[in-house]
């Protein structure tokens, strides 16, 4: 068989493949469906628990069993994604309504992870069984094949509440992200009921019922006036604050107690908040806090700040809101899959989709119930009619030779082959016209059903069935009747599962923090060879001068309002505010400089450290490994950016040193191959910080500058360098040459 080669444009194939991949991630993984508010992994996990019979009133089952069954049947994307989804659905501090009842360690609000799935157990919550899975047996939703077409799974769960709003959602797809806050179940149900009754309600009208987000962590939403625009556009930012209470302590002191936190602080951010508060004390932005402790437990959040006597409580509150994550923003992007495509939805649209879905579920449910009742009525009518002519039926049974022969007589009036006592009985049998289901029911009927009381019960059941049929037809054919049914179900859910609002909604004034101007004080900055930095008072330094100089690579006398310039071999300069440097005792270890600025010790090395006040009026000399030199005015580095380029480097080059040399100084460049070149610093031209510079020394092949020395005028300084095999070189006796020459070779 010959090959059939089809020509195609590579870019078109890549584009189509990427679009297919992106849509798969968007629809089948990352975004929730607007109808049930669930992502596929959540939907499949809940359905699998339902199939396994792990109900709220039954024993817990191992999570490993649930995860394995879900992965094997419905979600072949790894056990971690399934277990993570299961854990989140069990965490009541993340969900407005937890959907899974977890037993064991399912993590904590402070960011502790859940135990391994082999240790934890779970079962469905009652609300999940009642409002999410109750009508799956009534053909209310479509089922589709699983990944290998060996099982059937629901395309969407028959959720009776707007779960997209109640539990919110977050997820990152390809080129898009969803972030929907949680809301109060009772308020959302009230809004749905109001919209069912009056389809002309606007977003503003609906917000009379839904005041705003209701986060499980409580807190305060402080931009109430902006919520309407957020709910109309489906996008915006919600400003959140934690709740702070003031408690009186013995001795006339007070303490601040944080009892509710912003939803965004869940997890590791609580620890970061504690570090931020500690940093405020270390950097002397406040002296009012004397101790901080996290006393949170299963009973709730309790973070205690002990204050000094006479502390300004209101000012400290404002400082915490302004400088820490006690006030934060929650980015809203109400993106969900609607009608098979991603769409950013307003509040009204989400509720519209939900109401349409509720009517669809109710229609399919009552069509299914009506069909069952009609079949039931048909059988009941047949049995009642059979009781009236029971003698004839018994005669047919006794005169027949097989079940099929009796059935043919009951359905079609066929009497051939049946022995009758009288011709009249034969004529009556020929007129029988039961339906096939009625005939089967008659043949299966037990004799005790012929008792008088049993016949009366049958008559009553038939009357009840007829009432149900009339009721179901009314519901299916009348909008108001169906609306009443939906509203009744919502009222029942609200009564059983509703809870008071936890998040307060208000308008708060923008915090204006009047920071007192820091008093300028002389301090000493210390940095050791490992990059640990600290600062101390001059008196403390003088008292420990010998030890401080021995332990530190850089010792700078500066002001506490100054900035430190850290030059690195990658050609960058990082600016560090002195007020951010830990201030303390001499024996304090210090803090890695990586934690205080953008310096990255794994990628670069510091080669020069100066205070901004020292270099602002001076000139800095730069030397690179490839012997490129230049001078730059120090004031060029007085910028607001925390990191900026100190010089431009050629490929493969490194900055070797930065030095504030005097005009009369000489520079000595020593190469790896033993060449020494001494020339006046005045020959180095002035350049901008973004320039490469000029060549300072002619280097041979495979040679590079290894060391740079500085000789001030009149100095006779000898340098002993191990890399030159202990050769002692008197720099002052070197012949002074010109820049860009080869220099003197020293035999090693």
Percent pLDDT > 70 in the chain is: 94
Question: How large is the greatest C-alpha to C-alpha distance in the chain, in angstroms?
Answer: 149
Read off the tokens for 639: 């910028």
Residue pair 684/668 in contact by the 8 Å Cβ criterion: no
Order the strands of the 121-124 sheet from edge to edge: 61-62, 121-124, 100-103
Residue pair 162/187 in contact by the 8 Å Cβ criterion: no
| pLDDT reported for residue 505 | 95
Check the CA dihedral 591-595-600-602 and report its sign: positive
Closest CA to 675 of 693, 696, 649, 646: 696
506 vs 219: CA distance, rounded Å: 11
| pLDDT reported for residue 101 | 96
The stretch 445-456 carries a mean pLDDT of: 73
How long a stretch of residues is the chain?
A: 748
One of 56, 119, 231, 554 is an active-site residue; which one? 119
Q: Which position has the token pair 């953008």?
A: 598
421 vs 424: CA distance, rounded Å: 9
Say whether pLDDT at 252 is over 90: no
Beta strands (DSSP E) in 229-312 are 235-241, 243-248, 254-260, 289-294, 303-307
Residue 61: its H or E element: strand 61-62
Cα angle value 23/24/26 (rounded, 5°): 60
Order the strands of the 591-592 sheet from edge to edge: 554-559, 522-527, 532-537, 591-592
Query: Pick the residue with more confidence: 19 or 46?
Result: 46
| pLDDT reported for residue 422 | 86
| pLDDT reported for residue 722 | 38
697 vs 341: CA distance, rounded Å: 65
For residue 207, name the pLDDT band (cuts at 50, 70, 90): very high
For residue 12, name the pLDDT band (cuts at 50, 70, 90): confident
Reply yes or no on whether 21 is catalytic.
Answer: no
Pairing of strands 591-592, 572-577: unpaired
Pairing of strands 220-221, 504-505: parallel
Choice among 298-307, 527-536, 714-723 with the minimum mean pLDDT? 714-723
Say whether pLDDT at 1 is over 60: no
- pLDDT tens for 223-236 read 999 999 999 999 99
The stretch 90-100 carries a mean pLDDT of: 94
Residue 9: its H or E element: none
CB atoms within 10 A of CB 277: 22
For residue 582, name the pLDDT band (cuts at 50, 70, 90): confident
| DSSP state at residue 27 | I
The stretch 592-618 carries a mean pLDDT of: 89
Read off the tokens for 86: 């299961």
The stretch 281-295 carries a mean pLDDT of: 85
- pLDDT tens for 654-711 read 999 999 988 888 898 988 888 889 899 999 999 999 899 999 999 988 899 988 888 8
| pLDDT reported for residue 723 | 47
Q: How buried is residue 585: exposed, middle or buried, by Cβ count under 10 Å (0-12/13-18/19+)?
A: exposed
| pLDDT reported for residue 748 | 60
Cα separation values, 356 from 35, 170, 177, 187, 196, Å? 9, 24, 25, 19, 10
447 vs 403: CA distance, rounded Å: 17
The stretch 723-747 carries a mean pLDDT of: 77
Secondary structure of 618-686 in HEC code, one letter for each residue: CEEEEEECCCEEEEEEHHHHCCCCCEEECCCCCCCCCEEEEECCCCCCEEEEEECCCEEEEEEHHHCCE
Say whether pLDDT at 719 is over 60: no
Cα angle value 713/718/723 (rounded, 5°): 130
Residue pair 619/686 in contact by the 8 Å Cβ criterion: yes
Where helices occur in 498-611 by DSSP H, the ranges are: 538-543, 545-551
Backbone angles phi, psi at 342, to 5 degrees: -70, 140
Choice among 44-58, 59-73, 125-139, 296-310 with the minimum mean pLDDT? 296-310
- pLDDT tens for 277-287 read 988 887 778 88
| pLDDT reported for residue 26 | 64
| pLDDT reported for residue 641 | 86
Where helices occur in 143-240 by DSSP H, the ranges are: 163-166, 185-197, 203-206, 227-233
- pLDDT tens for 117-161 read 999 999 999 999 999 999 998 899 999 999 899 999 999 999 999
SS3 610: strand
Read off the tokens for 513: 């923090």
| DSSP state at residue 135 | T
Read off the tokens for 703: 């040679």
For residue 48, name the pLDDT band (cuts at 50, 70, 90): very high
Residue pair 361/140 in contact by the 8 Å Cβ criterion: yes
For residue 720, name the pLDDT band (cuts at 50, 70, 90): very low
| pLDDT reported for residue 634 | 92
| pLDDT reported for residue 513 | 65
- pLDDT tens for 527-572 read 998 889 989 889 889 988 898 888 899 999 999 889 999 999 999 9
Q: How buried is residue 96: exposed, middle or buried, by Cβ count under 10 Å (0-12/13-18/19+)?
A: buried
Residue 403: its H or E element: helix 403-412
Closest CA to 172 of 25, 302, 70: 25
The stretch 410-433 carries a mean pLDDT of: 88
Say whether pLDDT at 185 is over 80: yes
> DSSP assignment of 312-332, as one string?
-HHHHHHHHHHHSTTEEEEEE
């Amino acid at each position: 068989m010959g090959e059939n080669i089809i020509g195609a444009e590579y870019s078109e194939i890549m584009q189509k493949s990427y679009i297919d991949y992106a849509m798969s991630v968007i629809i089948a993984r990352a975004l929730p469906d607007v109808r049930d508010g669930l992502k596929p992994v959540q939907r499949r996990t809940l359905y699998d628990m339902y199939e396994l019979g792990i109900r709220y009133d039954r024993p817990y089952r191992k999570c490993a069993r649930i995860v394995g069954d879900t992965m094997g049947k419905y979600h072949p994307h790894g056990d971690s994604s399934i277990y993570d989804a299961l854990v989140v659905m069990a965490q009541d501090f993340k969900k407005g309504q937890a959907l899974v009842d977890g037993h064991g360690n399912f993590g904590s609000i402070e960011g502790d992870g859940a135990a391994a799935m082999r240790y934890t157990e779970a079962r469905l919550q009652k609300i999940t069984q009642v409002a999410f899975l109750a009508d799956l047996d009534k053909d209310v939703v479509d089922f589709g094949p699983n990944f290998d077409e060996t099982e059937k799974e629901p395309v969407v769960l028959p959720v009776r509440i707007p779960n997209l709003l109640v539990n919110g959602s977050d997820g990152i797809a390809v080129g898009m992200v969803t972030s929907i806050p949680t809301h109060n179940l009772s308020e959302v149900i009230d809004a749905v009921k109001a919209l069912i009754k009056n389809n002309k309600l606007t977003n503003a009208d609906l917000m009379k019922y839904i005041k705003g987000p209701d986060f499980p962590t409580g807190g305060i939403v402080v931009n109430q006036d902006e919520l309407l625009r957020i709910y109309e556009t489906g996008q915006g930012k919600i400003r959140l604050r934690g709740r702070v209470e003031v408690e009186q302590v013995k001795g006339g002191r007070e303490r601040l107690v944080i009892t509710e936190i912003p939803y965004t602080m869940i997890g590791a951010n609580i620890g970061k908040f504690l570090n931020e508060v500690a940093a405020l004390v270390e950097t002397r932005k406040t002296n009012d806090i004397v101790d901080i402790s996290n006393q949170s437990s299963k009973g709730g959040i309790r973070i205690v700040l002990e204050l000094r006597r006479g502390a300004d409580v209101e000012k400290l509150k404002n400082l915490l809101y302004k400088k820490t994550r006690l006030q934060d923003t929650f980015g809203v992007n109400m993106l969900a899959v609607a009608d098979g495509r991603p769409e950013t939805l307003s509040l009204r649209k989400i509720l519209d989709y939900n109401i349409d879905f509720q009517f669809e579920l109710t229609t399919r449910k009552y069509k299914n119930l009506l069909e069952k009742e009609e079949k039931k009525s048909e059988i009941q009518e047949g049995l009642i009619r059979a009781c009236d002519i029971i003698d004839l039926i018994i005669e047919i049974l006794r005169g027949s030779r097989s079940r099929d022969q009796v059935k043919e007589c009951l359905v079609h009036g066929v009497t051939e082959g049946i022995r009758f006592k009288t011709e009249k009985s034969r004529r009556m049998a020929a007129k029988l016209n039961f339906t096939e289901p009625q005939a089967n029911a008659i043949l299966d009927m037990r004799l005790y059903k012929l008792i008088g009381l049993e016949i009366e019960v049958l008559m009553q059941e038939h009357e009840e069935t007829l009432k149900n049929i009339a009721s179901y037809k009314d519901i299916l054919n009348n909008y108001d009747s169906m609306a009443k049914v939906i509203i009744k179900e919502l009222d029942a859910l609200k009564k059983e599962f509703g809870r008071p609002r936890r998040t307060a909604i208000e308008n708060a004034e923008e915090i204006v923090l009047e920071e007192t101007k820091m008093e300028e004080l002389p301090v000493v900055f210390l940095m050791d060879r490992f990059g640990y930095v600290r600062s101390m008072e001059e008196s403390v330094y003088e008292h420990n001068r010998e030890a401080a100089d021995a332990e530190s690579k850089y010792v700078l006398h500066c002001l506490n309002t100054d900035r430190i310039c850290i030059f690195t071999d990658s050609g960058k300069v990082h600016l560090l505010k002195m007020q951010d440097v830990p201030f303390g005792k001499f024996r304090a270890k210090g803090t890695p400089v990586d934690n205080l600025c953008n310096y990255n010790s794994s990628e670069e090395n510091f080669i020069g450290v100066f205070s901004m006040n020292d270099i602002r009026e001076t000139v800095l000399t730069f030397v690179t490994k490839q012997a490129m030199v230049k001078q730059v005015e120090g004031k060029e580095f007085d910028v607001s950016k925390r990191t900026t380029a100190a010089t431009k480097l050629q490929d493969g080059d490194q900055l070797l040193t930065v030095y504030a040399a005097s005009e009369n100084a000489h520079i000595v460049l020593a190469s790896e191959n033993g060449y020494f070149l001494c020339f006046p610093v005045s020959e180095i031209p002035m350049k901008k910080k973004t320039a490469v510079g000029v060549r300072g020394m002619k280097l041979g092949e495979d040679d590079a500058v290894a060391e740079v020395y500085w000789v001030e005028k009149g100095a006779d300084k000898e340098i002993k360098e191990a890399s030159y095999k202990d050769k002692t070189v008197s720099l002052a006796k070197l012949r002074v040459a010109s820049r860009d020459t080869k220099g003197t070779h020293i035999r090693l």
